[in-house]
Amino acid sequence: SPSRSSVIIIGAGISGLSAAKVLAENGIEDLVILEATDRIGGRIRKEKFGGVSVELGAGWIVGVGGKESNPVWEFANQSGLRTCFSDYSNARYNIYDRSGKIFPSGVAADSYKKAVDSAIMKLRSLEASHVGEVIEPPCSPKTPIELAIDFILHDFEMAEVEPISTFVDFGEREFLVADERGYEYLLYKMAEDFLFTSEGKILDNRLKLNKVVREIQHSRNGVIVKTEDDCVYEANYVILSASIGVLQSDLISFRPPLPRWKTEAIGKCDVMVYTKIFLKFPYKFWPCGAEKEFFIYAHERRGYYTFWQHMETAYPGSNVLVVTLTNGESKRVEAQSDEETLKEAMEVLRDMFGPNIPNATDILVPRWWKNRFQRGSYSNYPIISNNQVLHDIKAPVGRIFFTGEHTSERFNGYVHGGYLSGIETSKSLLEEMREEKERKNENQTFL
Ligand code: FAD
């Protein structure tokens, strides 16, 4: 029979690692971390591309400069992570039409204001319909510039429509991680505190990589976890940090099955797909400078290669461009070959910068939607969701505790959400362990 540990943590992303660290700091040393892939980090992941480190997943530390200090920002500073301030606010003045002309700033500002007003009205009408009232919803955006701004507003910066807890608590500034060691360097720094490491490598055998959990058996007495390679692990408790997309899929089966309130809540949370496509060029042909860092392409199809960034601020001389797609466009591009995607992106760039620009020499297309250990990029609770859904997604089921960015009440979808959720889940588990111990002691006294 396999040896039994106190806690099994499933997933070695930021939430799983922060949960494990809190347990270790509180004397729970006999833990096991099971990670499906061959690395720690999860959705924090760098890759070498065009001679620099690019972030396929989380790229920004979001929420800096506010009344409270963002713990991830603090940690990044302590670790000496290199970051650059990102000023998105210029993007709306760098909107190209299909003939390569930049919309005059007055037109852009007007369209922007119209889009914000219409988003606010839409929200009001949603709220009204929620309580059985009827308010006429605003008419939907139609022209390419309206569509582009609507896309930017809804898929990137709803802050002007609805207060976002991250901005309210931690501030509205965002910093791009531009460090050769990657955002994931923070996770190694964190792991170093409680796992055995040597020369930048984690050598602790409590971290088990390439262990795909397929089944969790749970009862009043404990949990049994089975992996794809037929290993069996036993513990008193399990912390599950797999993403909301994975929970919605059939990767992990539960015995007995999860109760209905749980599966229903999991089903109610939307999954956002967010794809950063990287393109490498032999030389620059786009305007440089910080105020030109972000630019927008207005096309009659909403979300069609809309949002662009040049990497010259982060990595001067890298000649790398990034374009971000979301949801339907992400899924479409994930399903086609990279050559087709490159062709589409080049057509868009030729619309903006003319026919004589050079072809990209390399392309990188992450596939977060297809990845069976992710099934999307991050959780996206419906704007009018009731708190019960979030409460139920987070709530433990017997000895199974849930963590991850999707369980963060105020900061879901962000790195700091994942980080703080891990801490919170471990604290509730420690509390439960104390109570269990007390119950046992009482029984013994009684006997
Ligand atoms: P994960 O990092 O997904 O960790 C879960 C781990 O569980 C993974 O390592 C996975 O491999 C593992 N796992 C899954 N299933 C199993 C299984 N069956 N058995 C064993 N292991 C399993 N946040 C920001 O703050 N700023 C940003 O700029 C930003 N941009 C983003 C861009 C993209 C493209 C994406 C994808 C995310 C972005 N995010 C951003 C969100 C941020 O990356 C996440 O909120 C955060 O990293 C989630 O951490 P987590 O620990 O909850 O989940």
Which ipTM value was assigned to this complex? 0.99
Residue 1 has pLDDT above 60, yes or no: no
The preferred substitution site among 157, 165, 309, 378 for testing ligand 1, maximizing ligand atoms within 8 Å of CB, is 378
Which band of pLDDT confidence, cut at 50, 70 and 90, is reported for residue 124? Answer: confident
Measured distance CA(239)–CA(7) in Å, rounded:
7
Measured distance CA(66)–CA(301) in Å, rounded:
37
Burial of 34 (0-12, 13-18, 19+ CB in 10 A): buried
Average pLDDT over residues 117-123: 85
Which residues neighbour 256 within 8 Å (Cβ) at sequence distance 6 or greater?
A: 218
Which has the minimum average pLDDT: 59-68, 151-160, 176-185? 151-160
For the CA of 412, the closest atom of ligand 1 is: 45
Pocket of ligand 1 (CB under 6 A): 10-16, 34-37, 42-44, 57-60, 62, 211-213, 241-243, 246, 251-252, 274, 276, 368, 373-374, 377-378, 404-405, 413-415, 417-418
Measured distance CA(40)–CA(35) in Å, rounded:
7
For the CA of 406, the closest atom of ligand 1 is: 52
pTM attached to this predicted model: 0.96
Measured distance CA(232)–CA(220) in Å, rounded:
18
Q: Residue 247, Cβ neighbours under 10 Å: how many?
A: 24
8-state DSSP, 220? S
Measured distance CA(35)–CA(50) in Å, rounded:
29
377 CA → ligand 1 middle, Å: 7
The full DSSP string for 95-144 is EE-TTSPBPPHHHHHHHHHHHHHHHHHHHHHHHHHHTT---PPPPPP-SH
The full DSSP string for 226-256 is EETTS-EEEEEEEEE---HHHHHSSSSEEES
Can you give the pLDDT at residue 255?
Answer: 98
Measured distance CA(400)–CA(331) in Å, rounded:
32
Residue 447 has pLDDT above 70, yes or no: no
The full DSSP string for 251-319 is SSEEESPPPHHHHHHHHHSEEE-EEEEEEE-SS--S--SGGGSEEEE--SSTTSS-EEEETTTTSTT--
Average pLDDT over residues 277-286: 98
pLDDT in tens, 345-393: 999 999 999 999 999 999 999 999 999 999 999 999 877 767 899 999 9
Can you give the pLDDT at residue 385?
Answer: 67
Question: Tokens 């589409």 map to which residue?
Answer: 344
Burial of 90 (0-12, 13-18, 19+ CB in 10 A): middle
Average pLDDT over residues 313-340: 97
